[in-house]
Structure 1
Amino acid sequence: MVAQLAIPSPRLDGPSTRCACSSFMSFQCQADARSSIIETTLNLRTTAFVFLNFQLSHLSLLPREQAHALLMSAFMLRDSLDQRQQRPVVVHVVSLHAGDVSFPTSMAPREGEPVLAKPGLSAFHHTGLERHLRERRVERVYLCGVSEGAEMVATALAARDLVGDKVWVVEDAWAEVDAEQGEAGLDLLAGLDMLVDVSEIGGLREEVGNDPVREKESAVRRELERRERKKEERERKETRVEGDRVARHNAIVRAASPREAEFGERPQSRGALLLRSKRSAQQLRV
């Protein structure tokens, strides 16, 4: 089945400065155009690119021309990311119900890029994706890939719960298996302003000149938080030690004064105190 897919490929063997797609000039696949997709002003260290269902089994569900266009756009994006010294957070998510999870060569995970298997609709459902992005302090997310049954819409909305409104679906690098669901998802994401083209990603700029300052501030904040935690832990320990000391003192006092322990903490009237004193005096005379 995979052999029958026959998707035309612009040298789908990883990063390259040459593009063999002269018949597809609408994608502007020249090397200069590719290198300008992700500009250096975009802070890639806090940017995540999630590639959803790029396995061959899902690509084979699409019409050949649509699959070709999807791979072209995804190839442009991947090639641009691979040329950057500053590495973004890249995560691949595949569906558990897919029989074949092999990737096209151009979209194969690079070294160090995790591949997560999702059991449900959203890529965040029981996959560890949220924890992975939180640990890397991701502030913006781009989504692309093949969606079956509104998987992309569910993933985009879940990502928005995580990072806020800095979530975009790369429209020309996204394909829905069901055309009607694709149109509905397109309308929904367009209404939420969550669509972007590959060529427009470079316009979503975030200056990185203040990165050293922000990193220093983060380090100072983490140190202050560490000190605060140690202070709270020390105070809890001192409170616990003081409580133990008071308890031991009370136990010693009760053991040394059995009559006081007999009366306990109950308030005594003046008449009762006089009666106790009189009885004590009588016992002494005897």
Structure 2
Amino acid sequence: MKKLIEYIDGNEGEEEAIKLLCLHSKLPKRQQKLVFAKDEGKRKIILSTNLAESSVTIEDVVFVIDSGLARVVRFSPETNTNYFCTINASRANCLQRRGRAGRCQEGKYYLMVPKEKYDSYHEFNESALRNTTLYNVYLTIKALKLGDVEDFLGRAPYPPSSLRIVEARCKLQEIGALDVHDRLTALGRLLAEIPLEVDLGSALILSRLFGVHDHVIKLICNTQNAPWNLILEWKASEKIKELKNSYKKKIPTPSDHEVMKLVAEKFALLNEAEQRAFLKKYSLDGGAMWEAR
């Protein structure tokens, strides 16, 4: 998305003729609302993630240009974690995207792939149960006393493999959330109530025992909602790098988490006017900064 914005922004003489906007789930609500505003005399260009597929109707959209790609979460057995990757969209994705054009007036939809490639697309995307970690799902099933986990998940339309379920059980036993008899421990019951990945939830609980919970809470907030991931424009990325590099000089190890802790602490000490100036200088989101502090 950033590369596309850079390309469009690089066309000299077009600045006054277009209004360039982004739409994705990490944007603050007030920025998301800008895509609905009408601006007479300008062509509005909206660069969007899958968020625009079915949950948003923008009345003045006439053309939809579809890359034919999708950004999805996948599970890596090598690192035992979830990660984002880009894959071909499904035909169901493309159908939803086509529906964004001409919702309130006549419109056109352009899919930027050859027909032969489109014909090779799957009808639907694979189930998330098959492509993401099952740790939290496993914990929830145990906490709700829904019976044997493998039997319960086996009744899903697209169930995960037995190997994935065993891996989840072993991981939860390793961190102490399950005992050797596959029963929830006291730690497991706590983790099932915390809306975090099990590693982060475990770190939060242990940090309380070791008296470092204030520090760990800030690190977890930054991991989940880092303000420099919420910048409003791609141009601000250079400002964010400048900010991070200036703080990395003050710490012994080049840790983004430690940098964010220092930035949040500095932000909390500023008065209201200074906070506004700080947010504007580095194009940071105020809501995220308040959460991080």
Q: Which TM-score tier does this pair reach, normalised by the shorter chain?
A: under 0.3
Q: Which has the higher contact order (CA 8 A, sep 6+)?
A: 1
Larger radius of gyration: 1
TM-score by length of 1: 0.18
